[in-house]
Amino acid sequence: MRINVDRERCVGAGQCVLAAADIFDQSHEDGLVELLLAEPPESLRSEAKEAELICPARAIELRP
């Protein structure tokens, strides 16, 4: 699985960090998403999917 984030779409809601803190963080400068693991292990798949689903800006995309 590969994760892509679109910082242009991100609104800084932080839902991704709440759902998957091992994968996402928020920039201290602008509050937008920072991707920590572009290719997370299988054990974090459900957290990554949850973050994708709850992102209000649809700034997260998971690919197989």
CATH of 2-63, one of 1.20.1250.20, 3.30.10.20, 2.60.40.3140, 3.30.70.20: 3.30.70.20
Distance CA 19, CA 35 (A): 13
Q: Which segments in the chain show pLDDT lower than 70?
A: none
- Counting residues of the chain whose pLDDT is more than 90, the rounded percentage is 100
For residues 14 and 41, the answer to whether their CB atoms sit within 8 Å is: no
pLDDT value, residue 17: 98
What's the pTM?
A: 0.94
Pairing of strands 2-5, 60-63: antiparallel
- Which residue do the tokens 């299988």 mark? 42
pLDDT value, residue 5: 98
What tens digit of pLDDT does each residue of 49-60 get? 999 999 999 999
> What residue spans define the domains of the chain?
2-63
Q: Indicate the residue type of 3.
A: I
